[in-house]
A and B are shown apart, each in its own frame.
Chain A
């Protein structure tokens, strides 16, 4: 058992990860703070978006610090409103960043950013055929998770709660079903607002979590990144060790022999 825990590695599409904490690059106050936080998180897979270049005010170079720290890039298709947009966006990211890994996300509604299941499944199928390693952001829908797996997605990324909401695992019961049924890694994405949420996801048997907002908006993102790294490691270890059964009634920890008799 001990050996298994020590050898515990996450593999997605043949790529091995030491860390089960994936991170995003959004919302950090500065790109310097972003790269320091991501290094502190020990994350090896990092998301970013793609946008039309602003020719007047060119934005900060976020790629150099990520690549210098050997982080694998996971560009997303954020901004895509349907499958057609997402497929185009994925091809752009492959051309721009030279990776065939893509975080497929299609959320037409800007208020709750709920992923569109029908368009996501359509795009996933097309992108797998085009040779992409597809990691779809999806609702915590066990049926959809299976369908995405069947069309060849390398992992599934069900949400805990709406993106950036920090609400935690409001979808817990359905995440548990997805984890139970999945034959590909399950990455809990979105809504994880505290290290305790990440630890819970890992204790439930998730293969990894993706955290962005909770780190980026903390007054001390570097310390928060470390806290998440510890919680993910702790939760994974607890899952592997095996949690005790939950009981309604007390079960004594100490012998109940009455020593005063």
Chain B
């Protein structure tokens, strides 16, 4: 994870750049790389929520903004 943007990269949670190949990267590959519990997270790319079933076919492009959310304690 990088603080400054490499030439081809996606931005994760508004603060970390992840370098990708110029031809793009599957969203599912990014989720795998972050080692998250997939069953209880939601993922939005450029503020559009991407359903879990579509992660393996969603190709990320340079500059895409990925936000990953999960449940935390709250009232």
Contact = CB atoms under 8 A, between A and B. Distances in A.
B61 interface: no
B13 to A, nearest CB: 5
A34 B16 CA distance: 32
Contacts of B44: 92
Contacts of A31: 73
Contacts of A163: 75
Contacts of B12: 55
Contacts of B40: 63, 96-97
B52 interface: yes
Interface string B46-74: 01010110000000000000011111111
Contacts of B75: 24-27, 47, 49, 76, 78, 163-164, 210, 212-213
A82 B37 CA distance: 29
Contact of A96 (B13, B41, B74): B41
Contacts of A62: 71-73
B71 A24 contact: no
A138 to B, nearest CB: 15
Interface string A82-95: 00000010011101
Q: How large is the interface on B (under 10, 10 to 19, 20 to 34, 35 or more residues)?
A: 20 to 34
Interface in A29-81: 31, 34, 47-53, 55, 58-63, 73, 75-76, 78
Interface residues of A, number: 37
- Give the one of A52, A53, A210 with max B CB within 10 A: A53
A28 interface: yes
A60 B40 CA distance: 13
- Give the one of B1, B12, B68, B73 with max A CB within 10 A: B73
A174 B2 CA distance: 54
Given A92-B49, A96-B42, A97-B40, A51 B1 contact: no
Nearest to B67: A52
A76 B43 CA distance: 17
Nearest to B68: A53
Contacts of B51: 95
Interface of B: 1, 12-14, 16, 34, 36-37, 40-44, 47, 49, 51-52, 67-75
10 interchain residue pairs of minimum CB distance: A49-B74, A24-B75, A212-B75, A96-B42, A95-B42, A26-B75, A25-B73, A92-B42, A53-B68, A26-B74
27 contacts: A24-B74, A24-B75, A25-B73, A25-B74, A26-B73, A26-B74, A49-B72, A50-B70, A50-B72, A51-B69, A53-B13, A53-B70, A60-B73, A61-B37, A62-B71, A62-B73, A63-B40, A76-B74, A88-B47, A92-B44, A92-B49, A93-B42, A95-B43, A95-B49, A96-B41, A97-B40, A210-B75
